Homo-oligomer: A and B are copies of this chain.
Amino acid sequence: MTHPVVSPDPEIVHLARLLVRCPDQPGIVATISNFLFNHGANITALDQHSTDPQGGTFFLRLEFQLPHEELPRTVLQRSFQRAVADRYEMQWHLSYAADLHRTAILVSRYDHALMELLWRWSRGELVTEIPMVISNHPDLREAVEAFGIPYHHVPVDPTKKPEAEEAILELLGDDIDTVVLARYMQILSPEFVARFPNRIINIHHSFLPAFVGARPYRQAASRGVKLIGATAHYVTSELDAGPIIEQDVLRVSHRQSIRDLKELGASIERQVLARAVRWHLEDRILVDGNKTVVFA
């Protein structure tokens, strides 16, 4: 299999996305939409959410087509800061779909979550660069390299975890936007996590907050639940407690063994993680404390 050639949507070339968070107050939408209109940009999607119109937090996501005559990005951004953002005390982020996101994937031995991502990526469903896959095991090298992606094996000696993380950080370098843990079975240190705030996505194989920690399918079987689930979330320094991005469940019964639960669960994990990564790549997620606002 050769490196996939994503046939980009022609509209993507001029597509930009704006994420905004600020204290809610009247006039924000009017101000922003005026600003964009006056700069020749055409809004094609708009989602907003307010935690409370009186004194709450306002969240906004905009997609717009940039004007075809070239407007230098720095001009647009400086102008937005001055004319809009300062006035409303906004935190904001503007991205251009044509600038591909750079995503690194960490994995251990289970291949299902990884393969789902690579496979969707090769079909053009996940629009990103994937400059590397890093694993603490050598097992999946051939499968990854078949997609034309470099595979790095960084063994993790339990007594030398900091060294392993150092090696991973060196591989990641300075220009990785997002790290996806596609069933990476090592717990990352708070220092590592702090390097990528709300930029590490993990897939946990249970419906959180039920069954935090190890062996969730075993826990689920032992509790006799009638649904098993999977949860994609941003990683924070507290285990399995970061902002939830997406969850889904599947019906099970007394008939399923733990082995069956793992097999069925793998299918949900794949879908939940793929949705979460896609939303992240399309700048559809805003973090609000320990929760997410997802404009899906």
Contact = CB atoms under 8 A, between A and B. Distances in A.
Interface of A: 1, 26-27, 29-30, 33-34, 36-37, 40-50, 53, 59, 65, 111-112, 115, 119, 123, 125, 142-143, 146, 207-211, 223-227, 229, 243-249, 253-255, 263, 267, 271, 288, 290-294, 296
Given A123-B112, A227-B247, A290-B223, A34 B44 contact: no
B46 A37 contact: no
Copy total for this chain: 4
Nearest to A115: B119
A293 B211 CA distance: 21
A260 to B, nearest CB: 10
Contacts of A224: 243-244, 290-292
Given A53-B44, A207-B227, A223-B244, A294 B254 contact: yes
Contacts of A290: 223-224
A245 B223 CA distance: 11
Given A26-B41, A30-B37, 8 more contacts: A26-B37, A26-B43, A29-B29, A33-B33, A49-B254, A59-B254, A208-B225, A223-B244
A50 to B, nearest CB: 6
A276 to B, nearest CB: 10
Q: Which 7 A-B pairs have the closest CB atoms?
A: A224-B291, A30-B33, A210-B210, A30-B37, A254-B293, A26-B42, A29-B33
Contacts of A119: 115
Contact of A1 (B34, B143, B227, B254): B143
A263 B121 CA distance: 12
A131 B111 CA distance: 24
Centre residue among A36, A50, A59, A254 by max chain B CB count within 10 A: A254
Nearest to A278: B263
5 contacts: A42-B53, A223-B244, A224-B244, A226-B294, A227-B248
A50 B46 contact: no
Given A207-B210, A227-B247, A36 B44 contact: no
A1 to B, nearest CB: 6
